[in-house]
Amino acid sequence: MPPRKVDQGKLRSALDEQLVALDEPPFDGPASALVDACVAAVLAAYDKGLKPEREAGRFAVRLLLDRLVEKAPGRTVEVRVPPYAAVQCVEGPRHTRGTPPNVIETDPRTWLLLAVGRLTWSDAMAAGAVLASGARADLSDHLPV
């Protein structure tokens, strides 16, 4: 599956909206740094006890899920981060109909923390922050992305 095409203008707008909500100046870096800047801004909002701006949160979650798919291509495990996105990844037996046998679900904040390496898979599982079902529902070898 080809990577999702990102509208750089919309991403920059979402990032700037998040930065304004954090009382920070608009982003003035290169386009190649937009994704990481958006993720950092959304995590900064969480760190301050704020709810991230919806579009910035959506971009951060989706784009880090895309990185997971690039790092662990396949269709054995479905990773769900409601309300933003779900992807299939990890090599192995392919699922074609109904509910996949290997499902991982978590909230946006936990996903971002896992994806950037600020939270380990085992700590997230121990805290009950991740629901995982199925023999292959383990992303520890693929994190951080």
CA distance 135 to 145: 21
Query: What pTM value is reported for the model?
Result: 0.94
R_g of the chain computed on alpha carbons: 15
Q: Write the DSSP assignment of the chain as a string of letters.
A: -PPPPP-HHHHHHHHHHHHHHTT-PPP-S-GGGHHHHHHHHHHHHHHTTPPPPHHHHHHHHHHHHHHHHHHS-SSSEEEEETTTEEEEESSSSPP-SSS-SSEEEE-HHHHHHHHHTSS-HHHHHHTT-EEEESTT---GGG---
pLDDT of residue 2: 56
Q: Which residues in the chain show pLDDT less than 70?
A: 1-4, 95-96
Strands of the 85-89 sheet, one edge to the other: 85-89, 77-81, 103-106, 130-133
CATH of 8-142, one of 3.10.129.10, 3.30.470.20, 3.30.1050.40, 2.60.40.10: 3.30.1050.40
Annotated domain spans of the chain:
8-142
pLDDT of residue 40: 98
Of 53, 47, 67, the residue nearest 118 (C-alpha): 47
pLDDT of residue 77: 94
pLDDT of residue 98: 72
List phi, psi (to 5°) of 84. -90, -45
